[in-house]
Amino acid sequence: MPGTSPAVPLAKGAQLEDLGFGEDFELLAAVGDPGRFTEIGRCEVGGGVVLWHEGSPVELGGWDHFQSA
């Protein structure tokens, strides 16, 4: 897991699939010094975002607003 930040545990009772649910919004900021804020990741040269769980990359389904019902 090159260039990873310390692990952030799932909330009690949460499942990995809950991370892609799509209705939970948080404020994120990219700053040079996190100060009193919790660091949950990092920005690196390249593209995309990789979520790691127990040593393996994970793809999240997310929500497709244009998917037919």
- At 4, the pLDDT band (50, 70, 90 cuts) reads low
Domain assignment of residue 34, given as a range: 1-69
Q: Any residues with CB less than 8 A from the CB of 29 and at least 6 apart, and which?
A: 37
The total number of structural domains in the chain stands at: 1
**29, two tokens:** 């900021």
Question: pLDDT per residue over 11-63, tens digit each?
Answer: 888 888 777 766 656 677 888 888 888 887 777 788 777 788 878 888 877 66
SS3 for 16?
Answer: helix
Q: Please give the model's pTM, rounded to 2 decimal places.
A: 0.46
Instruction: Output phi, psi for 52, to 5 deg.
Output: -105, 140
